[in-house]
Amino acid sequence: MTELSPRDPTPLLPIDWAYAAAPESREIVTIAERYGLFIGGEWVEPRAGASFTTCSPRDEEPLAEIAQAGAADVAAAVDAARAAFPGWSGLAGSERAKYLFRIARLLQERAREFAVLESLNGGKPIKESRDVDLPLAAAHFFYHAGWADKLEYAFPNRSPRPLGVVGQIIPWNFPLLMLAWKLAPALAAGNTAVLKPAETTPLTALAFCELLLQAELPAGVVNIITGDGATGAALVEAAVDKIAFTGSTEVGKEIQRRLAGSGTRLTLELGGKAANIVFDDAALDQAVEGIVNGIYFNQGHVCCAGSRLLVQESIAEAAVEKLKQRMASLRVGDPLDKNTDVGAINSRAQLTKIEQLVAAGSAEGADIYQPPCRLPEKGYWFAPTVFTNVAQSHRIAREEIFGPVLAVLTFRTPQEAVEKANNTPYGLSAGVWTEKGSRILWMAERLRAGVVWANTFNRFDPASPFGGYKESGFGREGGRHGLEPYLAFESA
């Protein structure tokens, strides 16, 4: 009988399944050493000559010098927008639509360039910039281009007309997408605009100025000014017809105080402390993916992030265990690496805030879990974090952290889930996970949130209005509801 030879101990497949680095090339992006202000279709220097440096949060690398607009520069931008308003609003809606379509197509053509710039300047993973931000930004221009010549049908018997010059202030978490959310409906309605991006993430807005020149948009229709909070304050107090602001609740309240009684229209999209509610009949693996997407997407830098997990007591232990297992597979690292799940925190100031609130959570008695992961030595980084044994009174359950930090609470009945979910000054979004359609509708009717997702989270569409209640602001963006704040109406 033939003897069998010993089995070769060499494995046929590799044992190490670690991801190899897959960085996106920076060569596609050209960043100027210095940027001015885009006013009246031209690049101009700030009157006072002031500037600041914008950096990459992944390694604190200086990227460019950015102009700091003063009150005189803001006034010049508003004057340019005012001068362009008669010509732009006088165009037929179908002609305005052509420009919006052109902008949308150019965004698609230059999507890779804008995605790299967004991740480089903001810190979010390239796969999110590439697969979420850029497609949605283009989609908003496509969608509103379709409404530009149909406003009479969108608002029948109301005789819609543009407001005039709108001032728009956008945050640092979704720079290009928030630009599209603001500019697309304003331009479709026939308004002209002065837009200020966040001081930490101005580069995609400045690259967008080049795209506007490429699209041959008439001069002065869109003016983009850069600067810090003082620039935003000057825009709020300028001679504009409407202010649209997305940012923190504290700043939103200050803007509302300043505009009270002025006649200037205002819409605010502010902070949130969303509840992601998981019932015992939910598909648990699917729900865990939704929980991860809800809080760790864009490092938790999302106003509607599901930062509170409310899970039914009977499945709480199993849900938390599955969540921890999933968190262990998240890859934290270079935002330009296509394998990265969690990128860099946007700024030193935001990282400090996250660290302070996490320390408060531990001090108040909650149990912290962070998966083992090696954080880069340079830049601003924070590991994905989950707290269990959290009480409603804890700061991590009440305050917006705006980082990759999840607080887990439990409930027994749907009534208790609603009570806990609504026990917050915010009301921007919520999620419900259950197999029962009737329960979804029952919960959605009672949750005081502007958006309620069912068996999913962080899903957006240009045709769907987005906005909140209470201290999450007022007004909507997206859909016909988002067009309405940019129009004045007369009875037919």
- Catalytic residue IDs: 269, 303
DSSP β-bridge partners for residue 489: 160
Q: Quick check: helix, strand or coil at residue 160?
A: strand
Nearest 5°: the CA angle 167, 173, 174 is 65
Strands 275-278 and 308-312, sheet pairing = parallel
Chain Cα centroid distance, residue 120: 16
H-helix or E-strand spanning residue 70: none
Question: Which ranges of 148-225 would DSSP assign to H, the alpha helix?
Answer: 151-154, 175-188, 203-215
Please give the structure tokens belonging to residue 394: 């804890």
The packing angle between helices 203-215 and 111-122, to 10°, is 160
Please give the structure tokens belonging to residue 17: 């399944």
**CA diameter of the chain:** 101
Rounded-to-integer distance, Cα 362 and Cα 358, Å: 6
SS percent in the chain: helix, strand, coil, step 5: 40, 20, 40
